[in-house]
Chains A and B, each alone.
Chain A
Amino acid sequence: MTRAARGLWALCATLVLGFLPLVAVIGPAAAHDVRPAYLQIDPLGADRYTLIWRTPLLSGMSLPVVLDLPAEAKVLAPPKIQPLPGSVIERRAIEIPGGLAGQRIGFVGLEGTITDVLVRIGDGRGGQATALVRPSRPWIEIDPERGLLDIALTYLRQGIDHILTGTDHLLFVASLLLIVRDWRMLLKTITAFTVAHSITLALATFGLVSLPPGPVDTLVAASIALVAVEAVRRERGVTSAMIRWPWIVAFLFGLLHGFGFAGALLDLGFPQGDIPLALLMFNIGIEIGQLIFIAVVLATIAAIRRIFPIPGRAVLVSSYAIGILATFWALERLQATFT
């Protein structure tokens, strides 16, 4: 590389590296704050319905979104508001002459947030229709006939969203890429991670195993730091069980990450009678998001390698950066667990 090219490359590297810490500081706080709001509508009798409207609390403030019910809707009883840790639930009963079908429910203020609203509409016979309302289209046209495909797509999208906005899960996958150097081992490691988190996600979703979220989140952060330490050791020529068999580590820590995914899925709630479908699609969504991330990272690294000579210490620097960030998260989450 010529001197001019080196200088220009240094400029670009400085720009990017100079901002990474800032991204990191802002990023983790956002990692899992994108919780959806939730509206459950169940028939109470002829043209009468109960509404459960749950909004997440963000930094102690309730979501600035208000339900906009059809003009014909009559409130049968004053809304009952129940504050919960992390959310507020509002229950009300309404009557809509002619029923809900074909009516529109709006979510005023949703367009100013990036929160989604999960809407479930019971049919009174044990079945439910599910839909996801996005800020870009903050209303729903009620169509009680929506079926399994809607549920599947809703949870698939939530799975992809969750992994792609879950900085800690992505960083764990990135740190695994630092210690895995061949395709076969990469396949084994990613598969082990997938199998493991699928197991605990299913166990936690069905309520068979339950762990408090605070310690789980702390251990997830600690798992990233630990893998980063191993990546540093590998760069220094040291070998260990974790370096030789990274898929075992991916499996063990994957069990932990599964509890993290389950927390997000439990926040979403489930359609009665379709829990296995929701679980399956959420998990597939997570896999799709994970594979997109891996593909983009590997393609970018391969492309950079093709054009620029990568300095020998690049892996070491990346490992340290990931390790420092993960340690910070672990301490922050540990403190949050005890306060």
Chain B
Amino acid sequence: MRRSLVGLAAVLVLLVPGAASAHGNLAAAGAFYSGLLHPLLVPAELLCLLAVGLYLGTNGRHASQIGVPVFAGFVAAGLALGGLLSLPVRLPTIMALAAAALASLSVIAGKRLPHALLAVLAGFGGLAIGLDAVPDADGWGDRLLTSVATVIGSGAAIVILTAFVSSQQRELSRIGYRVAGSWIMAVAILYFGWLAVQ
């Protein structure tokens, strides 16, 4: 329970007051959907989400039971930390790409990892997404709403993906996951290369 409260407190940091937006209420619906869809629309975050989902799903139901809450919790922590720290602009994107590459590498290798390592990788992926998705809205209400929506959106997406992958474990499916993992890793490396030459 203590850990739950610490996690809750971490996201509550987002309540740091900001300038009140004149059209806060008007923008609220947009803020919610913008947060909800952020992890699905930003390429680095989507790659990370797909890779971690594949990775957790291929490691079985028990791994998902550990990995999914860790992932969602660290998305929340990342959102809170990102609001407090001033990180280099590209760092969260690079972290998300690194998490995507590591997770997809594990999928390609096809070996089940110890649960501690699995939790670390899921947490790293979640943290990267959270840091990358820090809302830039003016009012604290919008920031909070967008952040909650990001946790819900990324949590729902990872649950659906993980449940689907863990339910389809035939030989052909497993080959498909490895192929998908290879593509994710290739795209993550290409993306990283593109960032490096920019």
Q: Return chain B residues, CB-CB under 8 Å to A243.
A: none
What size tier do the contact residues of chain A reach? 35 or more
Q: Which of A10, A19, A31, A296 contacts B148 (CB 8 A)?
A: A19
Q: Which of A2, A11, A16, A58 contacts B25 (CB 8 A)?
A: A58
Nearest-neighbor residue (CB-CB) of B5 within chain A = A14
With contact pairs A113-B23, A164-B33, A307-B65 given, residues A296 and B156 touching in the complex (Cβ less than 8 Å):
yes
A306 close to B66 (CB less than 8 A): no
Q: Which of B26, B119, B151, B162 contacts A33 (CB 8 A)?
A: B26
Q: Return chain B residues, CB-CB under 8 Å to A26.
A: 28, 141, 144-145
Q: Mark A1-22, 1 if CB is under 8 A from B, else 0.
A: 1101101111111111011001
A11 close to B65 (CB less than 8 A): no
How close is B127's CB to chain A, nearest CB, in angstroms? Answer: 14
With contact pairs A16-B72, A27-B32 given, residues A114 and B162 touching in the complex (Cβ less than 8 Å):
no
In the assembled complex, the Cα of A110 lies from the Cα of B19 at a distance in Å of 20
A10 close to B25 (CB less than 8 A): no
How close is A211's CB to chain B, nearest CB, in angstroms? Answer: 24
With contact pairs A15-B151, A299-B160, A307-B166 given, residues A23 and B145 touching in the complex (Cβ less than 8 Å):
yes
Q: Return chain A residues, CB-CB under 8 Å to B22.
A: 61, 64
Nearest-neighbor residue (CB-CB) of A20 within chain B = B148
B96 at the interface (CB under 8 A from A): no
In the assembled complex, the Cα of A34 lies from the Cα of B151 at a distance in Å of 24
B120 at the interface (CB under 8 A from A): no
Nearest-neighbor residue (CB-CB) of A64 within chain B = B22
A50 at the interface (CB under 8 A from B): no
In the assembled complex, the Cα of A189 lies from the Cα of B41 at a distance in Å of 33
Nearest-neighbor residue (CB-CB) of B3 within chain A = A11
B26 close to A16 (CB less than 8 A): no
In the assembled complex, the Cα of A86 lies from the Cα of B25 at a distance in Å of 15
Q: Mark A160-195, 1 if CB is under 8 A from B, else 0.
A: 000011010000000000000000000000000000
A14 close to B8 (CB less than 8 A): yes
Q: Which of A1, A19, A59, A164 contacts B65 (CB 8 A)?
A: A1
Dominant secondary structure at the B interface: helix
B11 at the interface (CB under 8 A from A): yes
Q: Return chain B residues, CB-CB under 8 Å to A61.
A: 22
> From residue 14 to 47 of chain A, which have CB atoms closer than 8 A to chain B?
14-16, 18-19, 22-23, 26-27, 29-31, 33-34
Interface size on B (CB < 8 Å)? 46
Q: Return chain B residues, CB-CB under 8 Å to A308.
A: 65, 68
B190 at the interface (CB under 8 A from A): no
Q: Return chain A residues, CB-CB under 8 Å to B141.
A: 26
How close is A339's CB to chain B, nearest CB, in angstroms? Answer: 18
A77 at the interface (CB under 8 A from B): no
A307 close to B159 (CB less than 8 A): yes
Nearest-neighbor residue (CB-CB) of A34 within chain B = B29
How close is B82's CB to chain A, nearest CB, in angstroms? Answer: 16
How close is A14's CB to chain B, nearest CB, in angstroms? Answer: 4
Q: Return chain B residues, CB-CB under 8 Å to A30.
A: 25-29, 32
B92 at the interface (CB under 8 A from A): no
B7 at the interface (CB under 8 A from A): yes
User: 7 additional contacts, CB 8 Å, given A1-B65, A5-B69, A165-B33?
Assistant: A5-B62, A10-B1, A12-B73, A16-B72, A26-B145, A113-B23, A303-B164
**Chain A: residues with CB nearer than 8 A to chain B?**
1-2, 4-5, 7-16, 18-19, 22-23, 26-27, 29-31, 33-34, 58-59, 61, 64, 113-115, 164-165, 167, 296, 299-300, 302-304, 306-308
